[in-house]
Amino acid sequence: MDTIKILAFCLFIFGCTPSKSYRKEGNNPSEQLVIRQISEHVYQHTSYLQTESFGKVECNGMIVTDDNEAVIFDTPADNPSTLELINYVEKQLGSRIIAVIPTHFHSDCLGGLEVFHQRNIPSFAHHKTISLASAEELPIPQIGFDKLFELPVGDRIVIAEHLGEGHTQDNIIGYFPDEKIMFGGCLIKELGAGKGNLEDANVKEWSQTMRRLKEKYPYTRLILPGHGKSGGMELIDYTARLFEQQP
């Protein structure tokens, strides 16, 4: 049984998460971009954003591939890393990128969006993301949706959905139903994380959004947060407790 099939079997039976990349050592695009296969059809991309408040921050995104097509959730934090990501997906994975979907309007989600547009790759985002990015003079996604958006990738689909406010008013999640993998973006925290950047947050609604998310996707096996380590449904529970309003 080849490596990818073993990985898929392991994830299906045990719900485990691989601890390292399944590529040969040194095959990542650069030190500024790490790509890690986490299931048969899903990859995690990680780039780095230098911030004043939190220093150098790891920023995650998700790639879903099938039948030589790919959809990417969130761009890397800068243009050079974004170009590396696009080239990697096209050349190393042999997939045509049919869409990029930023999960909210901050630069760690759409900082490299212009590179996708230069390569004629369409971008989709919540209407609020488009409005907020425009107001902040950030790269602007091209095509808007309201609440729920489904997009074919090969013979499968990916889902983007807005279930309420939290980290920002426009934050959405990405979901790949075939493997029950969610990209939570900055809406979902890794275990042990602090509250992070609350500049645009709705802390009063955050826990309720987590409850709606858990109710809508109760069988999720693996969750990728916007920053930090992946996990299971305990990430949703942890985030809900973190922002639970005290009486």
Domain that holds residue 151: 31-242
| pLDDT at site 13 | 37
pLDDT digits (tens, 9 = 90+) for 201-224: 999 999 999 999 999 999 999 999
The reply to whether 15 falls in a domain is no
The reply to whether 236 falls in a domain is yes
| pLDDT of 60 above 90 | yes
The pLDDT confidence band at residue 152, using thresholds 50, 70 and 90, is very high
The pLDDT confidence band at residue 9, using thresholds 50, 70 and 90, is very low
| pLDDT at site 32 | 86
The reply to whether 158 falls in a domain is yes
Least confident of 41-50, 113-122, 154-163: 41-50
| pLDDT at site 208 | 97
Least confident of 29-33, 113-117, 173-177, 201-205: 29-33
Q: Which residue has 């993301």 as its token pair?
A: 129
The reply to whether 134 falls in a domain is yes
Is residue 91 helix, strand or coil?
helix
| pLDDT of 15 above 80 | no
Mean pLDDT of 156-169: 98
Mean pLDDT of 119-140: 97
| pLDDT of 12 above 50 | no
pLDDT digits (tens, 9 = 90+) for 34-55: 999 999 999 999 999 766 555 6
Domain count within the chain:
1
| pLDDT of 136 above 60 | yes
The reply to whether 11 falls in a domain is no
| pLDDT of 2 above 70 | no
CATH of the domain at 55: 3.60.15.10
Q: Could you give the residue numbers annotated as active site?
A: 104, 106, 108, 167, 186, 189, 197, 227
The reply to whether 89 falls in a domain is yes
Environment class of residue 237 by beta-carbon count within 10 Å: exposed (0-12), middle (13-18) or buried (19+)?
Answer: middle
| pLDDT of 185 above 80 | yes
The reply to whether 166 falls in a domain is yes
The reply to whether 107 falls in a domain is yes
Query: Phi-psi region for residue 31, left (φ > 0), alpha (ψ -120 to 50) or beta?
Result: alpha
| pLDDT at site 57 | 82
Question: In sequence order, what E strands does the chain have?
Answer: 33-37, 42-51, 55-66, 69-73, 96-101, 124-126, 143-145, 148-153, 156-161, 173-176, 181-185, 222-225
